Amino acid sequence: MSVNRWISLQGAVNARDVGGLVGSGGPVPGGRLLRSDNPQDLTETDVMLLVDQIGITDVIDLRSTFEVAAEGPGPLSEHAGVTVHHLSFLPESDAVTRKPTAGELLPWQEGELAERGDHASYLGYLSDRPDSVLAALRVIGTARGAVLVHCAAGKDRTGVLTALALTIAGVPRADIVADYMLTDERIQLVLDRLAGSPTYAHSVVGRPLDSMRPKPDAVTHVLDALDADCGGLVRWLGARGFGADNIEAVRRKLR
């Protein structure tokens, strides 16, 4: 975990490469799977770095339809060599215009829900949107180039999907949690970005910084629950049609 995996961008503050983590097939190469906060504000220089130098061909946008409509798809969607896959991790109404609650967008750990706020939200991604979970993992396994995963903060929805992909790749759980916790180094910058957006300001303005910090047990709770209730992630995926060939595709991508 000593490798510097941060990606310096002008228009995003929580972007990093999972390359350098070690899975069952050896170290994950750089330029395979990246994670980030909302790339809506990327500059032309940022796009050139991500597409021309790193080689991003696919973007997995985990935001709700409401968020995409409010914030816009971002400049990567305008690049001819990039395919954006909108795969919301939140439940949506039939009209797909429902405004998500603050707790859905940015899970908080306060008050009576302090011990299970993120836990319930994170497990909800799997129970509410297994279609998006499977589709996102398929994109990771089949993309011809690098894949960028993002949501709003790059912490919650992005953190869960990244943890699932790294679990498939055989990365030890402690290292998966350490990757998730790296967001803590940028949390003030993340909050500042969110506070400047009308879409997210109501979720962050006036909130204490500590309520937004990543908690290590939030990710372990999801993986432990899959182990206890389903016999592990691979069996959970298999029961939903994500077969051995799909699993192997993700593993090949990350080794």
pLDDT of residue 104: 80
Helix (H) or strand (E) holding 34: strand 33-36
How do 56-61 and 83-86 pair as beta strands?
parallel
Tokens in use for 76? Answer: 């990567």
Q: What is the pTM of this model?
A: 0.93
3-state secondary structure of 149: strand
CA angle 136, 107, 215 (to 5 degrees): 90
**Rounded-to-integer distance, Cα 26 and Cα 23, Å:** 5
Give the residue ranges of the chain where pLDDT is below 50: 1-2, 109-117
Please list the residues that pair with 6 across neighbouring strands.
16
Picking from 226, 246, 244, the residue whose alpha carbon sits closest to that of residue 236 is 226
Residues 6+ apart with CB under 8 A from 174: none
CB burial of 198-235 (b: ≥16 within 10 Å; e: otherwise) equals ebbeebbeebeeeebebbeebbbbbbeebeeeeeebbe
Q: How far apart are the first and last CA of the chain?
A: 17
Reported as a single tens digit per residue, the pLDDT across 151-188 is: 999 999 999 999 999 999 999 999 999 999 999 999 99
| Half-sphere exposure for 62 (CA within 13 Å, toward CB) | 37
User: In this structure, what token pair is assigned to residue 180?
Assistant: 């998730």
Where b means 16+ CB within 10 Å and e means fewer, 97-114 reads eeebeeebbbbbbeeeee
CA distance 18 to 32: 8
Please give the pLDDT value at position 63: 95
Rounded Cα gap, residues 232 and 224, in angstroms: 8
Q: What is the pLDDT of residue 110?
A: 43
Residue from 123, 151, 163, 165 carrying the catalytic annotation: 151
**pLDDT tens digits for range 228-242:** 999 999 999 999 999
- For residues 33 and 123, give the distance between their C-alpha atoms in angstroms, rounded to a whole number: 22
Nearest Cα residue to 14 out of 192, 206, 201, 203? 192
Whether 151 is catalytic? yes
Residue 70 CB neighbours (<10 A): 14
Contact predicate 36/158, CB 8 Å: yes
Distance CA 227, CA 37 (A): 29
